[in-house]
């Protein structure tokens, strides 16, 4: 069954059709960061790092941060992509530290599925989100990846167990029919936007009764400087 685009997706679609790609020449996240991590930290160390990064930040599904934040950043990313893993530890980590913790921004993870492995991990993240640990799951998957591993070195179930999830509930949640629809919605936005590399970030301000929301599409590669400047512009439109 084909899933119709939501109102949000339609708004994003308009922005996508009118947005030009970012200027070329920004440094590649892959060469600068993923190459450093030829050997990932141990599973226990990775879990500790993720918990430290996300401790105290509310989660609902795959939305991280204050649900009433004036700005939302949508992150379209593949859980087995080395550039996405690099961005998770640099660009996204900085956004969490500077904007999400302060309540100014929430970040919604939109899994892009391009292989059976990335589909398994996306479903695992959704299922972990049912226990309010979806972001922990995604970040752990990225930390436990290398430039050559095609995703984390651990199985989806091992990641879930390491985070202390109730594995019975997690396994049951994997089969929820909502998740394939969510994956299809993300794929629809990616198709409309002609996304060819990931991660892609969409920055959207809260709706205003007097003006349409601010929407900007940042295509890969995205630096933290570019993303943070766009977030600040979005905040000013609602402030």
pLDDT at residue 146 in the model = 86
Distances (CA, A) of 205 to 75, 133, 188, 208, 224: 15, 25, 21, 9, 18
Judge whether 118 lies within some domain: yes
CA atoms within a 13 Å half-sphere pointing along the CA-CB vector of 155: 3
Report d(CA 29, CA 176) in Å as an integer: 34
Q: Max alpha carbon distance in the chain (Å)? A: 52
Q: What DSSP state is assigned to residue 109?
A: E
Q: What is the mean pLDDT of each run of 10 residues along the chain (239 residues)?
A: 43 50 37 47 96 97 96 98 96 98 98 97 98 98 89 96 98 98 98 97 88 94 98 92
Beta strands (DSSP E) in 61-218 are 63-64, 71-77, 105-111, 200-205, 215-218
Judge whether 83 lies within some domain: yes
For residue 150, the enclosing domain spans 7-238
Judge whether 2 lies within some domain: no
Report d(CA 34, CA 38) in Å as an integer: 8
pLDDT at residue 38 in the model = 54
Within 8 A by CB and 6+ apart from 221, the residues are: 26, 27, 28, 29, 30, 83, 197
CA atoms within a 13 Å half-sphere pointing along the CA-CB vector of 212: 10
pLDDT at residue 35 in the model = 35
Within 8 A by CB and 6+ apart from 180, the residues are: none
pTM to 2 decimal places: 0.86
Report d(CA 97, CA 47) in Å as an integer: 18
pLDDT at residue 160 in the model = 98
pLDDT at residue 23 in the model = 39
Domain with residue 234: its CATH number is 3.40.30.10
Judge whether 143 lies within some domain: yes
Token reading at 96: 């969490």
Q: Tell me how many domains the chain contains.
A: 1
pLDDT at residue 2 in the model = 39
Judge whether 1 lies within some domain: no
């Amino acid at each position: 069954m084909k899933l119709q685009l939501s109102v949000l997706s339609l708004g994003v679609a308009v922005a996508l059709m009118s947005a030009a790609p970012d200027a070329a020449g920004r440094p590649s996240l892959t060469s600068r960061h993923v190459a450093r991590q030829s050997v990932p930290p141990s599973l226990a160390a990775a879990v500790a790092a993720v918990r430290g990064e996300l401790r105290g930040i509310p989660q609902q599904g795959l939305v991280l941060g204050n649900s009433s934040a004036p700005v939302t950043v949508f992150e379209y990313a593949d859980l087995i992509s080395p550039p996405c893993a690099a961005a998770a530890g640099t660009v996204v980590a900085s956004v969490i530290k500077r904007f999400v913790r302060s309540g100014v921004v929430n970040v919604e993870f939109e899994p892009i599925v391009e292989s059976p492995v990335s589909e398994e991990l996306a479903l695992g993240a959704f299922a972990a989100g049912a226990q309010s640990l979806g972001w922990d799951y995604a970040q752990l998957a990225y930390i436990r990846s290398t430039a050559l591993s095609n995703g984390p070195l651990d199985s989806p179930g091992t990641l879930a167990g390491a985070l202390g999830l109730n594995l019975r509930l997690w396994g049951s949640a994997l089969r929820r029919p909502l998740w394939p629809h969510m994956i299809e919605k993300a794929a629809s936005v990616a198709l409309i936007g002609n996304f060819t590399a990931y991660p892609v970030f969409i920055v959207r301000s809260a709706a205003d009764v007097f003006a349409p929301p601010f929407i900007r599409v940042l295509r890969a590669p995205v630096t933290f400087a570019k993303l943070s400047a766009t977030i600040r512009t979005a905040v000013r439109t609602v402030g």
